[in-house]
């Protein structure tokens, strides 16, 4: 961990993210999941309301993109929880 003094404030540069997630990190991750879920629901609803096949396909692609993003976030969390459990930590 490198600490540099810049303009009276210390900044930390991490070569990789720390092994712990703070409460703030979890809240932000929860927000990201909520944002993706909201887009999934809206894209699905818009696709159901449309008659234009191009718009339906675009909404379905949007839906799939955000489903993949949602799964990526969940997989990342799962790996973190699994690593914490394996290391003897507690997963909350």
pLDDT, block means (10 residues), the chain with 92 residues: 52 72 87 96 96 97 97 87 68 50
HSE toward the beta carbon, residue 52, CA cutoff 13 A: 5
* pTM of the predicted structure, to 2 decimals: 0.67
pLDDT score for 80 = 73
pLDDT score for 45 = 96
pLDDT score for 10 = 65
pLDDT score for 90 = 53
pLDDT score for 79 = 78
Dihedrals phi, psi of 27, to nearest 5 degrees: -65, -40
pLDDT score for 13 = 76
**Separation between Cα atoms, residue 13 and residue 62, nearest integer Å:** 35
């Amino acid at each position: 961990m490198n600490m540099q003094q810049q303009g009276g404030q210390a900044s930390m540069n991490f070569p990789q993210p720390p092994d712990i997630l703070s409460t703030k990190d979890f809240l932000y991750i929860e927000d990201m999941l909520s944002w993706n879920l909201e887009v999934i629901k809206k894209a699905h609803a818009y696709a159901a309301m449309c008659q234009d096949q191009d718009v339906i396909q675009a909404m379905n692609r949007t839906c799939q993109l955000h489903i993949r993003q949602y799964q990526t976030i969940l997989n990342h969390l799962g790996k973190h929880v699994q690593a914490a459990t394996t290391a003897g930590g507690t997963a909350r």
